[in-house]
Amino acid sequence: MFTSVDDVSARLAETGYLASPAVATTVFLAARLGKPLLVEGPAGVGKTELAKAVAQVAAARLVRLQCYEGVDESRALYEWNHAKQLLRISAGRDESWDETRTDIFSEEFLLPRPLLTAIRGDEPTVLLIDETDKADVEMEGLLLEVLSDFQVTVPELGTVTATRRPFVVLTSNAGRELSEALRRRCLFLHIGFPEEELERRIVRLKVPGLGQALTESVVRVVGALRAMDLRKAPSVAETVDWARTLLALGADTLDETVVRDTLGVILKHQDDIQKAAAKLDLEAL
């Protein structure tokens, strides 16, 4: 899939995803070792984007399983199309039961869900299991079989093994501690907030209209805010939002008024805004 780590960074950059060395290395290894990639990190640093970018680079189909509380086998793996099966039964009235039975448990009546879809496909596939921490613990057990052997067992049809291993990305916001067993099967990647230099490049890429000096100030202020131990530290998404806001407002330098008026774009809690205002010597809001 990739020839080297630099190849990964370069090709991801072409799709508009600027990867840090850690991200590029881990993606390269995940492709080379054929292991799933578990990505953790705060919201808005581009975990889901990474999977999309990899899919685009590899010209692969992106299959996405969005996890939520209560997601189960029939939503993640496969389901029998009961309505269609009933129709089939009532259509063939004078058949023997054996004929009907072998027929209604065939491919035609199977509804593949994301996990099965990703495994059965012949074309290159990126399987994104998003927000794994939202799913219940039972769901993890299901993932274990799929992720370690890349196979799924459907009792009526037998075991389906992947002919071509999908590139698997699991994301988690660490809302719940994932089990050690699941972590063991994956390469672990923590995407934190980017280095200043990288963030400047991201802002320049996403908001090209913003001036050089202003971009630099924006990134510096956001960096200082992150060091403040706030309830919700601003993420890359917020930096970009802020840059867009400043561009829309037509500001050409950061000054006290501008920062005070737009602080709500980057900080989402009143406590945080007050704390930041105090630390940045802004006058009372």
Partner 1 sequence: MTAVAERITGLVGALRGHGVRIGTGETVDAARAVEALGLADRELLREGLAATLLHGPGQRALFDSVFDLYFPRGVGGPREAPLDRETLRDRLAEALAADDRALMARLAAEAVDGMGGYGSSPGSDGWSAYQTLDRLRPQTLLARVRADVRGRDGSGAGFADRLLDDEIRGRIEEFRRMVAAEARRRVAERRGRDEIARRGVRPTADRVDFLFANRDQLTELRRAVAPLARKLATRLAARRRRAARGTVDLRRTLRSSLSTGGVPMRPVLRRRRPVRPELVLLCDVSGSVSGFSDFTMLLVQALHDQFSKVRVFAFVNRLDEVTGLLDHGRADPDGLGARIRAEATLTGWHGSSDYGVALGEFAERYGGAVGPRTTVFVLGDARTNMSDPNLHAVREVARQARRVYWLNPEPRDRWGTGDSAAPAYAGLVAMHECRTARQLGALIARLLPV
**Cα–Cα distance between 51 and 62 in angstroms, integer?**
8
Q: Is the Cβ of residue 14 or residue 196 nearer to partner 1 in the bound state?
A: 196
Beta-bridge partner residues of 110: 80
Q: How far is the CB of 110 from partner 1 (least distance, A)?
A: 32
Q: Is the Cβ of residue 53 or residue 219 nearer to partner 1 in the bound state?
A: 219
Q: Is the Cβ of residue 37 or residue 116 nearer to partner 1 in the bound state?
A: 37
Q: How far is the CB of 71 from partner 1 (least distance, A)?
A: 17
Q: How far is CA 35 from the centre of its chain?
A: 16
CA separation (Å) from 73 to 152, 218, 278?
11, 46, 50
* Residues near partner 1, by CB under 8 A: 5, 21-22, 25-26, 28-29, 32-33, 35, 40, 137, 174-177, 180, 183-184, 187-190, 192, 213, 216-217, 220-221, 223-224, 227, 229, 231, 253-256, 259, 271, 275, 280-281
Q: Is the Cβ of residue 1 or residue 160 nearer to partner 1 in the bound state?
A: 1
Q: How far is the CB of 12 from partner 1 (least distance, A)?
A: 15
- Both tokens of residue 55? 């899919």
Q: How far is the CB of 80 from partner 1 (least distance, A)?
A: 29
Unique residue bearing structure tokens 């023997």: 96
Q: How far is the CB of 121 from partner 1 (least distance, A)?
A: 25
Sign of the dihedral defined by the CA atoms of residues 248, 251, 257, 263, in that order: positive
| Angle subtended by helix axes 82-91 and 97-104, to nearest 10 | 150
Q: Is the Cβ of residue 110 or residue 280 nearer to partner 1 in the bound state?
A: 280
Type of residue at 127: L
- DSSP secondary structure string for all residues of 2-39: -SSHHHHHHHHHHTT----HHHHHHHHHHHHHT--EEE
Q: Is the Cβ of residue 63 or residue 170 nearer to partner 1 in the bound state?
A: 170
Q: Is the Cβ of residue 74 or residue 270 nearer to partner 1 in the bound state?
A: 270
Q: How far is the CB of 96 from partner 1 (least distance, A)?
A: 36
Q: Tell me how far apart the terminal alpha carbons of the chain are, to the nearest angstrom.
A: 53
Within 10 angstroms of residue 139's Cβ, the number of other Cβ atoms is: 22
CA separation (Å) from 263 to 195, 204, 205, 283?
21, 20, 22, 13
Q: How far is the CB of 101 from partner 1 (least distance, A)?
A: 31
